[in-house]
Structure 1
């Protein structure tokens, strides 16, 4: 049965973004799947055709750092913006090249905020009920070692989203965050390797072998092997809903861990 809402998803070329785009289209919503590069356009359009979703799933290139792509996107008439696009840098913060930290913030924080501002203004001008969702992370609510750069971008998103939620209520515009755990989409696995392209055992205090041992131990944990479809199913329910929680952490054991960690933070000592 067709649903009236149109949903724009950024970063829909892979992983949770792609799965959510397909799931929402299968649920009858009109979805505009914004993907990063042109080859992803072709691949996802073919998937839509094979699934019989051509009428619901429209695939467009939307590099959120490309002003022409963003300008084109603003022509689309949407009800919900799902800011899902993102990248990740990991490694020792005290040695991470500053330009990589800038780049991570540009993609994960500044670009989604800029895109959201433009659509929010569009919603207000059109006196339209709208919704803006930020895909944050469990890393938006805690900071494990070597994830400081990536997690800080998500912490910043959490702060902006909370402020936006308060500001936009009077305009009938909803704001939410979605905070996935460690699902095996390939994002976390490859993010953990990013520092190896710049770490140099002759220059850096952090040695590659030591960092790799820590990463391998982390990836061996069952908590880092969560099934993506479980998260996709949650997102398909949360994204179009008219009611729900502001913050949506999944699975439950991750929410419990985050709450415990936040409580213990008050007792942290140096």
Structure 2
């Protein structure tokens, strides 16, 4: 059954790929991008591809006028994909950067979701919310903790929400991508070096770069995003499915082992 799907953060990366992929199989897609240059670029791409099922709109989740406008659109699937990442050691990262990361990744999508869900409930509409989380929502790698904390928050909200809204015919799912090479993780890592100062911080730049190299500077940290996009298209368009969706499979297995290991972690 074809659906009308709103995807936030569709101006690049997974959001753009999933919007186009869903449009290619016939779904009506509202691809929402943060800025007008992204909107223009994506509209041109959609036109070149002849995807008349994809409509590109501007939606900055921190712009109250954009959000109010978006709530006038008719859709039954909301994909909360928009997000940013602040890198750096959590012991030293400036707090205002952490707050902003939470504002964009947690509070803004929660506000949009609450209002969409309320509308669906009162209309008696069967619908679905998909939160694009991360494997970082299930563990917290050094140097990426501020971002991971926002995804841990998403996991907590989604877990409770899926129980709260199920009686109203609304499904909630999370998608937890691993380290795919979209440029997002690389940009997040580089963000730290705009404030990290070897004369001020006890975490030194060379040590942090080596840490990032170990995390995302190898084949398992630079996976082909086409695999993730294909799975996201399947998950978003399905009527049912798992609550939590970790991709690739080997990361699910590692996360299970990691979480068990943390239960037994001891300091002598």
TM-score bracket for this pair, using the shorter chain length: over 0.9
What is the deviation of 1:220?
2.5
Out of 213-222 and 162-171, give the one that drifted further: 213-222
Q: Deviations over 1:194-240 (max 9, x none)?
A: 11000111111111121112222333221111101100000110001
The whole-number CA distance in structure 1 between the counterparts of 2:215 and 2:149 is 20
* 2:124 corresponds to: 127
The whole-number CA distance in structure 2 between the counterparts of 1:220 and 1:74 is 40
Q: Does 1:258 align with 2:255?
A: yes
Which of 223, 236, 241 does residue 239 from structure 1 map onto? 236
Quote the RMSD (CA, aligned, Å): 0.8
* 2:15 corresponds to: 17
Contact 2:27-2:53 at 8 Å conserved across structures: yes
* 1:35 corresponds to: 33
Q: Does 1:164 align with 2:161?
A: yes
The whole-number CA distance in structure 1 between the counterparts of 2:121 and 2:25 is 27
Moved over 3 A (4+): none
Name the TM-score, length of structure 2 as normaliser.
Answer: 0.98
Q: Deviations over 1:113-171 (max 9, x none)?
A: 11100100010111100100100000000011111111000000000000000000110
For 1:1-270, list aligned pairs within 5 A. 4-53=2-51, 55-270=52-267
DSSP-derived class of the 1:192 partner = helix
The whole-number CA distance in structure 2 between the counterparts of 1:72 and 1:144 is 37
The whole-number CA distance in structure 2 between the counterparts of 1:213 and 1:259 is 26
The whole-number CA distance in structure 2 between the counterparts of 1:219 and 1:21 is 26
Unaligned stretches of 5+ in structure 2?
Answer: none
Equivalences, count: 267
